Chain A
Amino acid sequence: MDRRSFVIGTTASAAALATGSAFAQETYPTRTITIINAFPPGGVNDLVTRPVAASLEQIFKHPVVVDTKAGAGGQIGAQVASAAKPDGYSLLSHNNGISGYAEVDKLFGRAPKTTRADFIPLARLVADPVVVLVNDQQPYKTLKEFVDDAKKKPDTIVYSSGGLYGATHIPVVLFEKAVGGLKLRHLPTNGGGPAITSVLGNNAQLTVQTVSASLSHVKSGKLRALAILADQRSKALPDVPTMKELGYDLEYYLWVGLFAPKGTPANIVSTLVDAIGKAANTDQFKTAITNIGLDVGYQNAADFAKFWEIDAKRSDEAVLAIGKQG
């Protein structure tokens, strides 16, 4: 080996080393990304998060795993994610629930464990509008009939929800406020499934659930949809009028979004936002979402942040209206 080749060799390897380290910085990710899912397996969050993880895996060429940290209405997952190292390797899949914890904690005089400021919104993946449903033993064919009758007998008609301050409780409270002078009785259950079951069995008369959760019961005639809280009619339920058509300015969606913990570097956030945007646009993801009866409701980080702001205001308003029970 003569001196020249030695010099060239060293320079080359030094250059390789230099680009190597620059390369490592540029190409986040370099290892497995974990998406913390705050809700149990088999639920909408799980069914939406898994396909997006699979698509992200193909984009990043690194494993993307879903880690279930369910419990306490999604609070455990949110808390775990907010405490995770903000390096882009721990993300959070959450839904409407993430908006309300701080406000509820305030109501009870507890120090909030997580606030909205703890999370950076990356993308909204789906947004499933909710529908006002009554069972087939109720005489109401339209929302007006229901409102007129319910006003005559305040605190008599029972509605079921998946839980206090939850995503199927809040829209009913918003509806009560919008109508004015409407008072329904609340029957909290422990989840969307039990809430629907109690209406099917006429232990409650009304519930507000997502299109995907209630579609099969509406089709079989066991439940009747009176109105949808969306900006336009649903393709799956074209006969159901929107609240706007009926004169109430109400929209409410059960959405699933991805978040990064506060403090995640901006360049990593933008890499993630781009990648999730691509992932949400793959046929693979779209098919998976259509299969579970949903439409892809993708919003990029900026739009989602705006949407979240409005949605969270609605949620805060409803939580205050519900107040402290008992």
Chain B
Amino acid sequence: MESTLVSLLHGFSVAFEPINLWYAFIGCLIGTLVGVLPGIGPLSGISILLPITFGLNATQAVIMLAGIYYGSQYGGSTTSILMRIPGEASSVMTCVDGYAMAQRGRAGSALCIAAVGSFIAGTFGIVMLTVVAPPLATLALKFGPPEYTALLTLGLIFLAYMSSSSLIRTLLMACTGLMLGMIGIDNMTGHFRYSFDLVELGDGIGIVPVAVGLFGLGEILSTPSKNVTGKVMAPKLRELLPTTQEWREAAMPIARGSVLGFIIGIIPGSAHIISSFLSYALEKKLSKHPEQFGHGAVAGVAGPESANNSASTGAFVPMLALGIPTGPITAVLIGALMVHGVSAGPQLVTEHPDVFWGFVASMYVGNLMLLLLNLPLVGMFVSVLRIPYAYLYPLIIMFCIIGVYEVSHSIVDVWIMLIMGVFGYGLRKFGFDPAPLVLGLVIAPLFEQSLRQSLIMSNGDYLIFFSRPIALGLMLVCIALLAMSALSFFLKRNDWRTKLAVAEAGET
């Protein structure tokens, strides 16, 4: 422990070198921009800037690129809250309640809560990374396909809590998402499924084009048919800050989101995407006022925004401690280190202490920078809403198209986004919530792959999901949740969802 402190202090001495501070700042700034611009995610941001880092040394390179990664998690909430456009896949949930808050004139408050929540979660993640990285990383390796399957089963059950519309509508959307997730090459047999002879569909339908299309474009397309009076929201400075009541509502979700996000973040694979979805569902389940979710619940912003930030930090644990990438972004970071002859892995701490501790310390500094960068920007971002729609929306559509194209340089993705935009417009008109669809799309390929991998491992024996401790634990949680729902169903207690369905039926 003491040696950790000494090493960390040494790390700070590296991180505080002006040149390193500068690269951390550049990384955070670019990350914020990448996050704010719809479509352009951290992966494309890092990929574009990767060649530039070849001229830097390893420490500077990793400090800057990592800054882009965690910085983008801060910025991702901005467009979600202001315009209902998810900057990244992980900020889809913020579109729901964040945008609802903005419509009630609480945009500034939502942005502040998202920034502070991100800061707390990010810092929590780094403290955990500093203290418990090696043992946790070993634990993360235990998370194989059966555990993944169990976690995603839990995700599927949580799908039902995702939406404020009726259960049938939610499940309909979720099933659509799951079916869209079936598109692409079948990893186990090599068949192209539903690809219509387009190689571009081989990797499946991307989450970003779908999310940007359904939420952002759908919203924009539906604006002309609404009664727009031309009056734009112009919040006063006092209204930019969250009220005491809002802080109180945000506190626990931030704490829970931080822990949940970190745990999910260290799992190798793409699980970190579902951290914000799971956090949202968890908050809704725990909330005393679940009916507020979807209509601007503070917890619905605070939880997911904290979760995605601490998940992005958690993803560094297996990367730094074991040298294994948890996803495409950490894979690029490992590549960036390798270019400088530094190989990530167990020997990183001993062979290159400057890189390791300098990097860890720079994340403490970077998170503080991001908070200081983002809070003053809240006022400016909110002012964006003052721009008349006639000028703002064409600009947004342009950014969406550029951003979505940039993800994998594919014009097919742009078409998917445009089609999803029209589809999203339809959904909005008929009162369907697109969030479960996006989660379905995220879960389907992961779930299918891990399920089939598990069954290969066990030679077709389903007991594999109940014979490994972590998988068993998660499966028991799933069973308990289903049993509770079944119980309340049989007791004919009208829970809030049925009430809501009745109310909805009455409305139409």
Interface residues, chain A, with chain B CB atoms under 8 Å away: 40-43, 46-47, 50, 66-73, 75-76, 79, 104, 108, 110, 113, 155, 158, 163-165, 185-191, 193-194, 196-198, 200-204, 215-217, 219-220, 222, 288, 290-293, 324-326
Contact = CB atoms under 8 A, between A and B. Distances in A.
B336 interface: yes
Given A41-B47, A73-B185, 19 more contacts: A40-B331, A42-B333, A66-B51, A68-B47, A71-B200, A72-B185, A72-B200, A76-B200, A108-B191, A164-B190, A185-B456, A188-B188, A194-B268, A197-B318, A197-B324, A203-B453, A217-B323, A217-B345, A326-B189
Interface stretch (B140-148, B154-162, B359-367): B140-148
A158 B187 contact: no
Contacts of A104: 190
12 contacts: A72-B199, A73-B202, A76-B200, A76-B410, A79-B199, A188-B188, A189-B453, A198-B145, A201-B142, A204-B457, A216-B344, A293-B338
A202 B192 CA distance: 30
A164 B188 CA distance: 7
B60 to A, nearest CB: 16
A209 to B, nearest CB: 12
Contacts of B338: 47, 291-293
Contacts of B224: none
B501 to A, nearest CB: 39
A63 to B, nearest CB: 12
A196 B340 contact: no
Closest 9 CB pairs of A and B: A42-B335, A72-B202, A42-B332, A203-B144, A201-B141, A216-B345, A41-B47, A291-B341, A326-B189
A190 B409 contact: no
Interface in B440-481: 449, 453, 456-457, 459
B408 interface: yes
Interface residues of B, number: 53
B328 interface: yes
B200 A186 contact: no
B346 interface: yes
A216 B347 contact: yes
A216 B343 contact: yes
B322 interface: yes
Contacts, number: 140
Nearest to B340: A291
A158 B457 contact: yes
B324 A76 contact: no
B26 interface: no
Given A50-B54, A76-B200, A164 B187 contact: yes
Contact of A187 (B323, B347, B453): B453
B203 interface: yes
Interface string B260-286: 000000001100000000000000000
A72 B192 CA distance: 10
B50 interface: yes
A260 to B, nearest CB: 20
Contacts of B188: 164, 188, 325-326
Nearest to A165: B190
B334 interface: yes
A197 B453 contact: no
A158 B457 CA distance: 7
Contacts of A193: 324-325, 331
B339 A47 contact: yes
Nearest to B202: A72
Interface string B396-431: 000000000000111000000000000000000000
A72 B202 CA distance: 5
Nearest to B146: A203
A307 B65 CA distance: 38
B409 A200 contact: no
Contacts of A73: 185, 202
B325 to A, nearest CB: 5
B350 to A, nearest CB: 11
Interface in B41-61: 46-47, 50-51, 54
Contact of A190 (B192, B344, B449, B457): B449
A75 B199 contact: yes
Nearest to A104: B190
B207 to A, nearest CB: 14
B409 A220 contact: no
A292 B459 CA distance: 38
Nearest to B324: A197
B199 to A, nearest CB: 5
A75 B202 contact: yes
Contacts of B347: 216, 219-220
B312 to A, nearest CB: 17
A113 B202 CA distance: 13
Nearest to B322: A200
B456 A187 contact: yes
Contacts of A42: 47, 50, 328, 331-336
A73 B199 CA distance: 10
Contact of B268 (A47, A66, A197): A197
Nearest to A290: B341
A71 B143 contact: no
A221 B400 CA distance: 47
A188 B199 CA distance: 20
B343 A41 contact: no
B324 A186 contact: no
Interface in B311-357: 318, 322-325, 328, 331-336, 338-341, 343-347
